[in-house]
Structure 1
Amino acid sequence: MTTTMYTAERVVSTNGIEINYDSFGKEEHPVIILIMGLATQMVFWDVRFCEILASKGYRVIRFDNRDIGKSTWCDSANPPSHLTLLASVIFGRALDAPYSLNDMANDTLGLMDSLQIKHAHIVGASMGGMIAQLMAINAPNRVKSLTSIMSTTGNRQLPKPKLIFLKNLFKRPPKQADEFVTFGLSLWQALHGNTYQFQKEKVSELLRLSVKRGLNPKSNIRQLAAILSSGDRTQALKAVKTPSLILHGDDDPLIPVACGFATAQAIPYSNIKVYPGMGHTLPDELLPQIANDILELIGTAS
């Protein structure tokens, strides 16, 4: 593979905050925007994955969501208590969140505006998939194609995470670097599953890089509150006409594969592909296939 043009990290101001991003590929090429999941920095979008997409004639942009990494932290807004979050998960009680997934979708649109991008192919993983869905719902003229990876519609009746992951969602990550890496490794390995080799050294490096870029322990609670407060998108997704692809692993312990099927069922112009043995990560062995599946969707949308 030839060396892909890389544009180093930069910051733009939009929607009242600053968003940090980088990109792969030439600026004049059609754009693919990658949206990462809960409390996870943009560096977890694998560089090789970005380069595969860019090598096919696209500009690939990844960025830190608000409250994470080098983008603006929302520390002035106190997160809901753990008890309030738990009541929302178990009983479906209303939740007053510091910001919503709609706000985060607007952040992405604002990033596009700042970079003078009229429309893009949107790819979101987990919470990022939820944000991508809202972009297709609220700004269909800006979304040329939608890829929702290991995500869900927000319907509370769908299968829930395994209990161990519910507990981890409510934990505040350690502040010390070594403890954070140990905590993160345990969580990522559990999410990864046993089918594909877990790249311990690679994930350790990414976790340490995350510490260097900026560790915001309260962001996971605020972002989780954004997810829980944003409601069920099922009915709104039924009006989406954007060419869409739903990707999911059949061994996902955090967002069970039934949630992927529900998403595909809700979006009329969608296809679903399930990867056997994949958990709630993107295994190195599957990156070329996942990239190819996304490129096929983009080809039909274009």
Structure 2
Amino acid sequence: MTEKVVAVGREISLAYEEIGDAGGEPLVLVAGLGQQLHSWPDEFCAQLAARGYRVVRFDNRDVGRSTHESFRPAKLVSMLVGRFPAGQYDLTDLADDTAGLLDAIGLASAHLVGVSMGGMIAQTVAARHPDRVRTLTSIMSTTGARRIGRPAMSTTRLMGAAPPKTRADAIDRAITMFRHIGSHGFPFDEEHVRERAGRGWDRDPSSAGTGRQLGAILKSGDRTPSLRSVTAPTLVIHGDRDRMVHPTGGAATVRAITGARLETITGMGHDLPKGAWPALLDLIDNHARATRSTDARDTTAS
């Protein structure tokens, strides 16, 4: 895995990595709110690659080693009443960044798999750029509809904590958060959370980008009308123990997208526990594989 940075248009550059055979079926993993490319675990990506995929994972705008905006994010209270600073982007901009990444690395289309905010981005790519999405897999995500997929009150309180000031604080904060929102039906892997949080701090210790990404979600509002135009075969995966995005978010996504189907993983919360990997890998692979024999689109852009 060699990290690279490419321009994707509109003065935005994204850091990305590719895992697997360059001739494999292209599958792009889209990370969640404030999460960097390595939030998709190395071994998880390697197992997808072993199934014949050219796996691409990347830092969204405002995190990791991708372009960071310079404006100060709005306070949450301001966002909730629709007041955003000049320059605040929305999910359509993040979706266009993703489409620009496909252009930059020579992919005419790909299977898109997004988690949480990444699911929202992948949904939006499928709505705005239907010819770029072979299949859509939306994991632990939602539609932006009011009172749907809302975090638990206890989760909201944790999210309101002051940003970490040191690497050790960032690690402790991540452990506290993922003990809360993680998959209570599977063993908690504190060492993995610790390693991921430390790696994230080393790549990008800033925190303002997460606030700007949250602004993108809230500025986008209810995306249900646009999701009705999605034509890509769509799989929605949600855990029944999710405290960050209530399972009603997954159900709403299925209702919004014609032909979408829902798979619920018992015991899964708002993370990717290793114990759930066999189910997740099979679901993602089988969904993509169902279209591969009939998908005649070129792997690379002409």
- TM-score (normalised: structure 1): 0.93
Partner of residue 37 from structure 2, selected from 39, 42, 50:
42
Match of 1:201 in 2: 191
- Alignment of 1:295 with 2:285, yes or no, is yes
Amino acid at match of 1:272: L
Structure 2 residue corresponding to 1:29, chosen from 18, 24, 27:
24
**Residue 14 of structure 1: how far off its partner (Å):** 1.6
Aligned identity (percent) is 37
Out of 72, 89, 103, the position equivalent to 2:67 is 72
Aligned residue for 1:96?
A: 84
1:224-261: CA deviation from partner (whole Å, max 9, x where unpaired) = 11100002111221221110000000110011111101
Conservation of the 8 A alpha-carbon contact between 1:25 and 1:59 = yes
CA apart distance, 1:193: 3.9
Look up the equivalent residue of 1:231 and give its one-letter code.
G
Code of the residue aligned with 2:106 in structure 1: it is Q
Q: For 1:8, what is the secondary structure of its paired residue?
A: coil
1:83 & 1:159 partners in 2: Cα distance?
A: 19
Residue 95 of structure 1 deviates from its aligned partner by: 3.6
Amino acid at match of 1:42: L
Residues 159 and 138 of structure 1: CA distance in aligned 2, closer, same or farther (over 3 Å): closer
Aligned position for 2:298: none
Name 2:172's counterpart in structure 1. Answer: 182
Q: Does 1:212 align with 2:202?
A: yes
**Do the aligned residues in 1 keep the contact of 2:183 with 2:273 (CA within 8 Å)?**
no
Find 2:8's aligned residue among 14, 19, 32: 14
Pairs within 5 Å for 1:222-301: 222-301=212-291
- Segments of 5+ residues of structure 1 without an aligned counterpart are 1-6
Superposition deviation, residue 23 in structure 1 = 1.0
Q: Distance in 1 between matches of 2:255 and 2:121?
A: 18
How far does residue 56 in structure 1 lie from its aligned partner after superposition?
1.4
SS of the residue 2:3 aligns to? strand
Structure 2 distance, partners of 1:301, 1:96, is: 41
- Aligned partner of 1:4 in structure 2 is none
Change (3 A) 1:202 1:159: closer
TM-superposition CA deviations, 1:84-128 (whole Å, max 9, x none): 13xx1xxxx324252111111111111110101000000000000
Alpha-carbon deviation of 1:17? Answer: 1.5
Mapped partners of 2:263, 2:206: distance in 1: 34
1:84 is the counterpart of 2:78: yes
Deviation at 1:65, TM superposition (A): 0.7
Deviation per residue, 1:264-289 (Å, 9 max, x gap) = 11111211100111111111011121
Report the residue type matching 1:103 in the other structure.
D
Q: Is the 8 A contact 2:184 2:241 kept in 1?
A: no
CA RMSD across the alignment: 1.2
- Is 1:52 matched up with 2:52? no
Q: Which runs of 5+ in 2 are unaligned?
A: 293-302
Does residue 137 (structure 1) correspond to residue 127 (structure 2)? The answer is yes
Cα distance in 1, alignment partners of residues 150 and 92 from structure 2: 22
4+ residue runs over 6 A deviation: none
SS in 2 for 1:67: coil
Equivalent runs, 1:94-133 vs 2, <5 Å: 94-96=82-84, 98-133=88-123
Shift of 1:165: 1.5
Name the count of aligned residue pairs: 289
> Counterparts of 2:123 and 2:5 in 1: how far apart (Å)?
24
What do residues 148-185 of structure 1 show as CA deviations (whole Å, max 9, x unaligned)? 00000110131521112112333342121111111111
Distance 1:167 1:222 in 2: 19
Are the counterparts in 2 of residues 42 and 62 from structure 1 also a CA contact under 8 Å?
yes
> How far apart in 2 are the matches of 1:102 and 1:124?
15
Q: Which amino acid aligns with 1:162?
A: A
